[in-house]
Structure formats: C-alpha cells, structure tokens
Structure 1
Amino acid sequence: MALGPRLDLRQSQSLVMTPQLQQAIKLLALSNLDIEMFIGEALETNPLLEAGEVRMERAAEPEQVREDAPEDPTADQLIERGRGEADAPLDIDPDTLDRDRDTGDWSAQLAAGGSGEELPDIGDRANKEPTLAEHLEAQVGPAAPDARSAFIARHLIGLIDEAGYLTAPLREVADDLGVPLAHVEEALAVVQSLDPTGVGARSLAECLALQAKEADRYDPCMERLIQNLDLVARGEFARLKRMCDVDDEDFADMLAELRGYDPKPGLKFGGGEREPIVPDILITPGPKNGWNVALNEATLPRLVVNRSYYVELRGGCQDKASKSWLGEKLADANWLIKALDQRQKTILKVAAEIVKQQDGFFRKGVSMLKPLTLRAVAEAIEMHESTVSRVTSNKYLNCQRGTFELKYFFTSGVSSADGEGTVSAEAVKAQIRSLCDAEDPADVLSDDKLVELLREKGFDLARRTVAKYREAIGIGSSVQRRRQKRMRAGG
C-alpha cells in the first residue's frame, strides 16, 4: 500500500471563549480593591487609557425600576466618533456570558461624578502597620549586649509565630547556627525583654509568667497559680487556694490579674499581607421607607480613553502594522470601559435584590434573616446562578448594622415549629447566643433545655443541630460555660 500526502476537509463545532469573555468573567469575581490593581496594570500597558472621573451609580428604592436613567456619558463619547470598525467599542454579548440577560434595564440612576482626583496609587492600599517581626527587629539593636546576641536574637524572631510564641526548640536552633546552647538562651532572654511583653515564650505558662514579672506580680503564689493552669481550666479553685496558701479575696485578685494578661501578645501586630476590608456596596435609608444602594465611590473604577492622544498617534502611523496595533489598543480600551460599566450595573442589581430579599435583617437585625439561595436571587433578576456566585465573592456590604460579606446573606434554612415555613440558620445561631448570654450562672442551660426554649420561640431543631450551631459560634458546652462563669465570679 503506497503512502502519499492527502488533503482532508472536516467540519466540527466547538465552544471557544475569547480572552475578552474570560476576562469579563474574572472581573465579576474581583472586589473593587482588586479592580484597582487590575486598572493599574491596564494603565501601564495601554497608552490610550488614563484615569478619569468617578462614575457613580445609585439605586434609590431598589424595588422600583426607574426608566428615566440617563446613559453613561463616557460610553456615549466612545461611541460618538465612529472612525470605522476599529474605533467602535467592543461589545459583550450578555447571552454568551453565563447566559445572562442584558443588565441595561436597571433601576439605577447613572450620573457623572466630579471628584477630579487621579487614580490612587495601588501601593497606598498596602498595610503600613509594622509586622510583629519588624517591630521586634527594630528593638534588638539597643537591647542586645553585643553583635553575637543581636544576630541570634534576629534568627529567633524569624521563628516566632503570629501569636508571639517561639516555635523551635533551643537545642535545634543552637545546632543550626553552630553556637553553644548558652548563647541561644542569652539571645532568647533579649527577645523576651522586648515589647510586647510575653513575646518569645515557648508555652502559655511562660508567656503569662513574663507578663506577671513585668507587672511585678510574680510572687510564689502567682508562680504556683501559673504553673497549674490546667487546674484553673477545670475550675478546681478550692485545690488552688490550698496550693497557693491564700484566702478567697487574694485568690480572686490573682484570678483577676491573670485574666488581664494577653495569652497571644503577637496578635496586636499585623501579618504584613492583610488588607483592610473596604466595603464595595453602601446601604443607607432612602425615601418612602426604602433603601439607597450605591457602590463605594472611593473604590470605583475610573477609566477614560484619551481621544486627542489617539488622533495624534493615528496621524503619525505610516505603516499598516502601526495602524493595526493602535486599533487594537483602542478596541481593548473601549471594551474594558464597557466591561467595567457592565460589572458595576450587575453588582448593583444583585445587591439591590439581596436588600429586597433580606429587608427584615436591615430593619430589625439578624433574627429576621431569611433563608436565601443563589438560585432565588438569580431567578429574581433573570441571571445565571454562576454569575450571582461570582458577583457575591469577595464583595462586602456596609449598612447601619456593620460590614458584611455578601455571602453572609445566603444561609440555609431550618423548619419552623409550626411546619409552615423555614427560618435562617443565622437567626437560630443568634437566638442560641442570646439564650446563653442571658442564662443564670447557677442554672446553665443544657442542650436539651436549649431545644425546648428554641421550640417555644418557633424553631424546631434536633439536639445535635443545636449542639452543632452552638459550637459553630464558639459557645462551649454547659459544663464549660459553668466553669467559665465560676471563674468570672472568682470561685
């Protein structure tokens, strides 16, 4: 059988996502702070983009659709000067993006802001507070008696965890550095003399002892108390009194002093990589007993196309490759502005529906939080469930009750006692916390008793469910709570 070249023509179908669509999907999941970083990169790579004015979008009374919303003037300017297909803004087909319908029919009023501020430097958002390691290293020089101790002390600081505890045995440190153990112990004493007091400890008892010494309260009685923290945890106060040889009043003072110490002194300082939570959405009371839903103007994207610069560059383009490159940059800039505008409208639309669904929470608190799913919001605003999931990721909402992640408002439900509906799991947790906070120290509520009290309030839960919710919000068992209340009472 002879071998030879042959041409075949085949027809096939495949779904291909363009880079623009992939980028649009990623933009939905980013917070406004992440968008700032993205815009900073775009400004560096596209000469036609520049920082522009803040564009505000507000939704007064989200339950009412306002049909008189003017269009974005920035988008108009981009569409006006049609200089051929290359100048036209890129269009995003909403049906291709997660099968969502167009978000243009939105209940927000678009208006042009006038702050005139330049795009803030991305580096300004970095956490400028010193880390624990930086705070300690700044003190080593004056505290160390010589260069050798300073070197070992800095090495030990690198082994301290975020809570302020030394995580490596001194013998291993000595072997790693090739120095005598006595030199490492001297350096550890230097570290433990630094601020905050208690840092560099190898155990909780040592951490509390360092703080007691700093307060000049480390007498033999306090030493015995700190050396027997397991008895304190078990609430064996009578035994501790005999061991410390103190009366009730002195023992109560010792416990109060012990409670005033910080078991994790290192947590006072930042980790160096954390960023402050800046709300993406602001909720304020509106007219007619409604709500104003708006994006945080401080973090809104601000981009415009420099048309004059484009015209100047276009006049200087002599070859086809240069014109093609300039056309691509203009198309990319137009598409990015349109994508960011669509992202803002989508976020506002989702946020307004959440506010509408959880109106009771914003008026009366967590006890009125209703069970809510992504599907319910997606169906109400006629979007795909995956898009709602992306919009609610890494987004925070600020209202009169505080700052909450959008995911917080999507909670599972439990059956009510009458069997006619469901209530939010967060509402149940709030009731459990309220009951435990109000319980009598002499009559701590068991899980069975909590089940009965919750049933009287309209929550039909099994005992294991109550125990699960109680542990989820950090409330101990009835035995643990009884010990804690006895400690607060001083025995």
Structure 2
Amino acid sequence: MALGPRLDLRQTQSLVMTPQLQQAIKLLQFSSLELSAFIEQELERNPLLEREEADGPAEPPGEPAGDAADLPLLDSARTEPSIVDEIPATGGAAEAMDVDVDNLFTNDSAADAVGLEGYGSWGAGGRADFEEDESGLDHLAAGEIGLHDHLVAQINVDLTDPGDRLIALHLIELLDEAGYLVGDLAELAERLGCPLARVERVLARVQGFDPVGLFARSLRECLALQLAERNRLDPAMAALLDHLDLLARRDLPGLMRVCGVDGEDLAEMIAEIKALDPKPALRFDRTMAPVVVPDVLMRRAQDGGWLVELNPDTLPRVLVNTRYYATVTGSARSKDDKSYLSERFQSANWLVKSLHQRATTILKVATELVRQQEGFFRHGISHLRPLVLRDIAGAIAMHESTVSRVTSNKYIATPRGIYEMKYFFTQAIGSADGGDAHSAEAVRHRIKTLIDAEGKDVLSDERIVEILKAESIDIARRTVAKYREAMNIASSVQRRREKSLGL
C-alpha cells in the first residue's frame, strides 16, 4: 500500500453553534432575575433596543425599516392564556395545546386572580403647591436595631472603664453570624497590649448581655449560659451538656446513666434544652428571604380545565427602534458606521425573536406539565405521577435538553402553592400488582403520613413495607429506610424510646 498525499472530497452534515443559536439557548435557561439583568445589559449596549413603557409603545408611528415589521413585541399584554382541558395525558394531544403568544389577555387571566394587575399603580402623586408633605413622617416604621448597636448600647451602660469598653468592642467584632466567639483571646490581648486575665474578665461581663448566650465559644457554653441565667444549671444538667453527643444520637439510656436521673427527669431536662436558643444572634439583622416570582400562572378554568399563562411581571418588554435605525443609517457616512449599525440591528432583531421563542417554549412545556400532573393539582401529592423529561419532550416534539433548560430555575404558581417545575419530575416505583407505577415523592409522603399517624404502636420499616405492598406499592425495606433518613425521621427503636419517655 503506497503512502502519499491525496485529495478527497467528502460531504458531511454538522450542527454549527452560531452566536444567535448560543444566545437562544442561553436565554432559555435563564431565570427571571438573570433574564432581567441580561436585558438591562443589552439595553445599555445596543442603542437600537428600547424598553417598552407601561403607558404604550415607545416606537413612534411610521413604516418600520427592513424586516422588523414582522417581529413580535414582547409585551405581557399580548400573551393569551392556554387552556388545559380534561383530556387524558397522551403524547398525541400536544399539537392541540400549542398556543400562540401574540394575543391579548382576557379578564379571566390568572394574573387577575392573584392580584398582579396592581403592580403598575404608583399612588396619587404629590401636592399641587410643590411643597414637601412631611405629615406622614411620624407614621414611618423605625428600622430594626442590629446586633452591633444593641450590644454597644449595653456596653455604654454596663462598662464604665474606657479600657474595658475597648476590649468589649473588639469582642463584638469576633462574633460570627450565630453569636459565637470565633477569635483567640490570647491574640486579642497581645494586640491590645493588656493581660489575658482582663480580656477574660470583660468576656465574662459581656456574656451576661442580652440576649443571653452570646459570646459563647461552643454550643455547650451557649446553652450553659442560658441555663445559668434561669438558675437551672445543676450537676445533672451540666452532665447532660457534657454529653450532647449522646443526645444527638438519642441514646436515652446512656444519658440517664451519666446524669443519674430517671426517665421522667430526663424528659424534663431535654424539654428545657429544646426551649433554649442555640443561635441567639440570629434574631437580629434578619434578612428577608428572596421572594420567588413565578414564571407561569395557572388556575382552574370555568369549564373544569386549567388556565395556564405566562406571568406578565417576568416577561421582558423590549422592541427595536426602527425609526431611529432608519434615521442614523441615512446619515451614516463611513463604512464602519454602517457596518456597526447593521450588526446592532441584526443583534436587536435576534434578541427579540429569541425572547419570543423563549416565552412560547416555556408556555408549551408548562401546559404539558400541567396536563401530565393533573392528578396532583386536583387531589394532592398522593396522586403525583412518575415523570421524566422524555415524557414531556415526546409530547411537545422537543429535545430533552430543551425541556431541562426550560424547567430549571422556573417556577409555576398553582392553587396548591408555588413549585419549581423540576419538582414534578420524580422517579418511578413499581406497582405490586402490575398496575401503574407510583411516584417516589408520593411514596415518601405516604411514609411520612404513616409515621406521623402512629400511636403507641411504633411502625417498623418492615411493617411500613407490608402496609405499602397492601396499597400496591412494591418497595424494599432499605428504600423505606433511605426515604425515612432523608426526611430526618428516627428509626422505630429511637421513636419507641422517645414515646416511652413522653418526648
């Protein structure tokens, strides 16, 4: 066989990830907050993009330039809700549910049901004489006092020596978010140039500040400070604090042995421990949890089906300013200016098209998801079906990766609460009689229900398996134990001990 260079002509097909395709994929997996931040960046970067104002479109009337006349306006007021009828969940029904996103809202929208229409109201305005109205200042709520200010106020009252105050202020800086002292006292004493004994004396003073339990160096010391303040730190309680590891393992016989008490006394001691605050600083400087804004809204329709639509608050309102593009293009002189304007115009067009495609895809996936899990929305978690991405992708003729991007970091507001779309995808557990499979999430909920309802007769894992098999749920004992441990539920032996002590 001769070796040498030669020319071959081959014909192949390959998928080229163009910048526009990459942008569409990136927009699809964005959450509403990430999408809003991305739109802000594009509005600053592209002079041909405009934000559509709430009182009407910002684009002046006139003939649009180029092909921008066919571009959809991403306005929340042009999204028609999708109706999910009471049709069995089959893949062939997907075509009937493809919904156009370019129509007007009706008064039956889910946004009206949850009160989102009032978000655009900004009040009644100011006074006619342009004077500042300060009549309501005394009605403003004062901000909450932070932990630092709370402790500084106590230092100024309880500590009179300037040196002790300085040490106490440095001790405050060594507190973590839970209120524990995380620094080294010897290093602090060396840095301040004072004896270690003085730092420890000031520490003992500030450990009596409100709330009691601050400036502790361990969980045991934090609980001991609170018990001492209540005059309940007796030898038995001190022994219990010295063996918190036994309490964590729920080794009640071991605790009774080391504390020298009976079961009734131990139950009272554990109840006192539970009433204490292991993280006393968390009651200050509380940060509000971020509010989850749903991307999709749903509610029951008048015909018995479900009304599904996009949340108008999460839809971006951007458009291409074709009048400005036509004006600046006509006045552009250099080739570089015309090339820049053309590139910006194409980028703006692609962005609006990608946003429209994103909205349509989210609505399609959400509509099919509601259809597949209709039993959950009507009857609760016990009727949650096992579902995988392939089921949704096959029903709406999309790829599984597209469905995965759509359901990540997207939330749907339902009559049963706000859920992430990923919540409805669960593994399947086989049926004992050969019927339909059961959702793993529904089985976990059933196990928790059985344990919560047990009386004096504690259910073992084997007994739970028998009950579930009687309900046509084929599950192994180790699976029951795994689900129980994931829900932080103790074993039957530990639960029996706690019930015998009245815990």
Structures share fold, TM-score greater than 0.5: yes
- Looking at structure 2, the residues matched to 187 and 397 of structure 1 have their Cα atoms a distance apart, in angstroms, of 54
The aligned runs of 1:113-132 (5 Å cut-off) are none
- Looking at structure 2, the residues matched to 212 and 395 of structure 1 have their Cα atoms a distance apart, in angstroms, of 46
The aligned runs of 1:22-37 (5 Å cut-off) are 22-37=22-37
Higher mean alpha-carbon deviation, 292-301 vs 206-215, is at 206-215
CA shift at 1:200, angstroms?
4.0
SS, match of residue 289 in structure 1: coil
Deviations 1:325-348 (A, max 9, x none): 222222222221111111011011
CA shift at 1:17, angstroms?
1.4
- Looking at structure 1, the residues matched to 54 and 229 of structure 2 have their Cα atoms a distance apart, in angstroms, of 52
- 2:166 is matched with 148
Identity across aligned pairs (percent)?
A: 47
1:285 to 300, 304, 307: 300
- 2:491 is matched with 477
The one-letter code matched in structure 1 to 2:148 is E
The one-letter code matched in structure 1 to 2:219 is L
SS, match of residue 174 in structure 2: helix
SS, match of residue 313 in structure 2: helix
- 1:446 is matched with 460
CA shift at 1:405, angstroms?
1.4
What TM-score results when the alignment is normalised by the length of structure 1?
Answer: 0.74
1:83 to 65, 71, 85: 65
The one-letter code matched in structure 2 to 1:339 is S
Deviations 1:460-486 (A, max 9, x none): 111111111111222121123234445
- 2:480 is matched with 466
- Looking at structure 2, the residues matched to 411 and 286 of structure 1 have their Cα atoms a distance apart, in angstroms, of 27
CA shift at 1:178, angstroms?
7.8
Unaligned 5+ segments in structure 2 are 1-6, 73-93, 106-116, 122-143
The aligned runs of 1:260-279 (5 Å cut-off) are 260-266=275-281, 275-279=290-294
Contact 1:140–1:150 (CA<8 Å) still a contact in 2?
Answer: no
Whether 1:106 aligns to 2:98 is: yes
- 2:435 is matched with 420
CA shift at 1:220, angstroms?
6.2
SS, match of residue 304 in structure 1: strand
Structure 1 residues 37 and 385, CA, compared in 2 at 3 Å: closer, same or farther?
same
CA shift at 1:117, angstroms?
5.2
- 1:137 is matched with 148
- 2:111 is matched with none
Deviations 1:385-416 (A, max 9, x none): 10001111111222122222111111110111
Deviations 1:220-268 (A, max 9, x none): 6655554454555422499379747x995x7765543332223344555
Higher mean alpha-carbon deviation, 172-181 vs 228-237, is at 172-181
Structure 1 residues 301 and 473, CA, compared in 2 at 3 Å: closer, same or farther?
same
Contact 1:397–1:406 (CA<8 Å) still a contact in 2?
Answer: yes
CA shift at 1:44, angstroms?
1.4
Contact 2:246–2:252 (CA<8 Å) still a contact in 1?
Answer: yes
The aligned runs of 1:280-319 (5 Å cut-off) are 280-319=295-334
The one-letter code matched in structure 1 to 2:490 is G
- Looking at structure 1, the residues matched to 151 and 327 of structure 2 have their Cα atoms a distance apart, in angstroms, of 58
- 2:420 is matched with 405
- Looking at structure 1, the residues matched to 96 and 324 of structure 2 have their Cα atoms a distance apart, in angstroms, of 30
- 1:235 is matched with 252
- 1:60 is matched with none
Deviations 1:183-222 (A, max 9, x none): 6546755775666553443322222233335556556665
- 2:21 is matched with 21
Structure 1 residues 197 and 368, CA, compared in 2 at 3 Å: closer, same or farther?
farther
CA shift at 1:436, angstroms?
0.5
The one-letter code matched in structure 2 to 1:459 is I
Contact 1:87–1:330 (CA<8 Å) still a contact in 2?
Answer: no
The one-letter code matched in structure 2 to 1:300 is L
- Looking at structure 2, the residues matched to 116 and 310 of structure 1 have their Cα atoms a distance apart, in angstroms, of 32
Structure 1 residues 220 and 115, CA, compared in 2 at 3 Å: closer, same or farther?
closer
- Looking at structure 2, the residues matched to 9 and 287 of structure 1 have their Cα atoms a distance apart, in angstroms, of 66
- Looking at structure 2, the residues matched to 188 and 103 of structure 1 have their Cα atoms a distance apart, in angstroms, of 71
1:339 to 327, 345, 354: 354
The one-letter code matched in structure 1 to 2:99 is S
CA shift at 1:457, angstroms?
1.6
- Looking at structure 2, the residues matched to 229 and 116 of structure 1 have their Cα atoms a distance apart, in angstroms, of 51
The one-letter code matched in structure 1 to 2:348 is A
Contact 1:27–1:343 (CA<8 Å) still a contact in 2?
Answer: yes
- Looking at structure 2, the residues matched to 269 and 10 of structure 1 have their Cα atoms a distance apart, in angstroms, of 73
Contact 1:88–1:334 (CA<8 Å) still a contact in 2?
Answer: no
Whether 1:381 aligns to 2:396 is: yes
The Cα RMSD (Å) is: 4.2
The one-letter code matched in structure 1 to 2:226 is Q
Structure 1 residues 403 and 171, CA, compared in 2 at 3 Å: closer, same or farther?
farther
What TM-score results when the alignment is normalised by the length of structure 2?
Answer: 0.73
Higher mean alpha-carbon deviation, 452-461 vs 302-311, is at 302-311
Structure 1 residues 109 and 477, CA, compared in 2 at 3 Å: closer, same or farther?
same
The one-letter code matched in structure 1 to 2:450 is L
- 2:48 is matched with 48
- Looking at structure 2, the residues matched to 323 and 271 of structure 1 have their Cα atoms a distance apart, in angstroms, of 54
- Looking at structure 2, the residues matched to 375 and 408 of structure 1 have their Cα atoms a distance apart, in angstroms, of 15
CA shift at 1:360, angstroms?
0.6
SS, match of residue 303 in structure 2: helix
Whether 1:366 aligns to 2:381 is: yes
Higher mean alpha-carbon deviation, 260-269 vs 370-379, is at 260-269
- Looking at structure 2, the residues matched to 204 and 191 of structure 1 have their Cα atoms a distance apart, in angstroms, of 17
CA shift at 1:355, angstroms?
0.7
SS, match of residue 287 in structure 1: coil
Structure 1 residues 192 and 399, CA, compared in 2 at 3 Å: closer, same or farther?
farther
- 2:39 is matched with 39
Higher mean alpha-carbon deviation, 291-300 vs 336-345, is at 291-300
- Looking at structure 2, the residues matched to 302 and 463 of structure 1 have their Cα atoms a distance apart, in angstroms, of 53
Unaligned 5+ segments in structure 1 are 1-7, 56-72, 91-101, 119-131
CA shift at 1:284, angstroms?
1.1
Contact 2:407–2:421 (CA<8 Å) still a contact in 1?
Answer: yes
Structure 1 residues 142 and 323, CA, compared in 2 at 3 Å: closer, same or farther?
same
The one-letter code matched in structure 2 to 1:156 is L
Structure 1 residues 259 and 175, CA, compared in 2 at 3 Å: closer, same or farther?
same
